[in-house]
Amino acid sequence: MSDLIKIAVDAMGGDGSPKKIIDGIILNHSANKNNFFKIFGDKNKIDPLINGKIPKEFFEIIHTEKKIESTDSPLEGAKRGKDTSMWLAIQSVKDKEADIVISAGNTGALLVVSKLNLKMIENIDKPALSALWPNKKGMSVVLDLGANIECSSKNLSDFSIMGASLYTSLYPNDKPNVALLNIGSEELKGNETIKETSDFTLSITGGSATLASSTPSHLSIKFIKFFPQTSYLAKTKISQQKSNQKVTCNVSRTRHLFWSVFFLSC
């Protein structure tokens, strides 16, 4: 089991749970025998759904009858206690009993409980929701998709580095192109936060800036034109300084940062 990827699953979150969640686990196991599932939820409901379809050496059920409802506010969800299926699943990652947590439940509560348990990466203020969207060449990592109502220019800068790092982890043989979108290509358009983002992101001092990050070593990001509505931004090379674990951006030119971030295959 030590060689298996340990996945904590909130079996009680989302519509049609736990049946749809267990159906997904069974489907994944049929194609991939490299995962071990720590399933958090009502054992009396989960056991009949598994019904011998997964060998016992590939899963464990951690019983709890409490769950966070989809109608709960993020704060209400967190206040339901530390014995809900979502909280326990996230806690298992914190305790290094699992490598990753999956939940189809209340997104706001998931973000709040995760932030309480797992904390944030140093110098990263806000989490972001990301997804894979298809493009003409492969897949794009897109963020933020709804975790935050308002973002500062620093948050947008953080998202670009977080997204590029995620893309590089998913597709290690490719280097991401970054395109950012606004309501138009004209520099007069967009709110003040967007207009300020480029200055904040790069904090240009002699053509370079230092940003805290956990990105992989020698991560290169090329800012490009994505849609006709976007304008050319900057060509930026990012290399990790091992001594202080910071990322140095050598900036050639910058014009305008946009709101949503698309990371594309080259």
Topology classification of domain 5-118: Isopropylmalate Dehydrogenase (3.40.718)
pLDDT of residue 158: 85
pLDDT of residue 265: 34
pLDDT of residue 227: 35
Q: Which portions of the chain are predicted below pLDDT 50?
A: 201-218, 222-266
Question: Which H or E run contains 78?
Answer: helix 74-79
Identify whether the C-beta of residue 144 lies closer than 8 Å to the C-beta of residue 162.
Answer: no
pLDDT in tens, 41-67: 999 999 999 999 999 999 999 999 999
pLDDT of residue 236: 32
pLDDT of residue 174: 87
pLDDT of residue 1: 57
- Which contacts qualify for 247-253: CB closer than 8 Å, 24 or more apart? 247/161, 247/210, 247/211, 247/212, 247/213, 247/215, 247/219, 248/208, 248/209, 248/210, 249/202, 249/208, 249/209, 249/210, 249/211, 250/207, 250/208, 251/202, 251/204, 251/207, 251/208, 251/209, 252/207
Orientation of helix 85-94 relative to helix 107-118, angle to 10°: 30
pLDDT of residue 182: 65
pLDDT of residue 71: 94
Query: Tokens 């019983």 correspond to what residue?
Result: 63
Burial environment of residue 171 by CB neighbours within 10 A (0 to 12, 13 to 18, 19 or more): middle
pLDDT of residue 197: 66
Domain ranges of the chain: 5-118, 130-264
- Which contacts qualify for 67-73: CB closer than 8 Å, 24 or more apart? 67/10, 67/12, 67/13, 67/41, 67/105, 68/13, 68/105, 68/106, 68/109, 68/113, 69/106, 70/13, 70/14, 70/15, 70/105, 70/106, 72/106, 72/109, 73/108
pLDDT of residue 185: 60
- Compute the distance between CA of residue 64 and CA of residue 219 in angstroms, rounded to an integer: 42
Question: Which H or E run contains 142?
Answer: strand 139-143
Query: Tokens 């090379």 correspond to what residue?
Result: 237
pLDDT of residue 114: 93
Query: Tokens 């806000």 correspond to what residue?
Result: 126
- Compute the distance between CA of residue 219 and CA of residue 203 in angstroms, rounded to an integer: 19
Q: Comparing C-alpha atoms, which of 23, 263, 253 is closest to residue 145?
A: 263
pLDDT of residue 243: 38
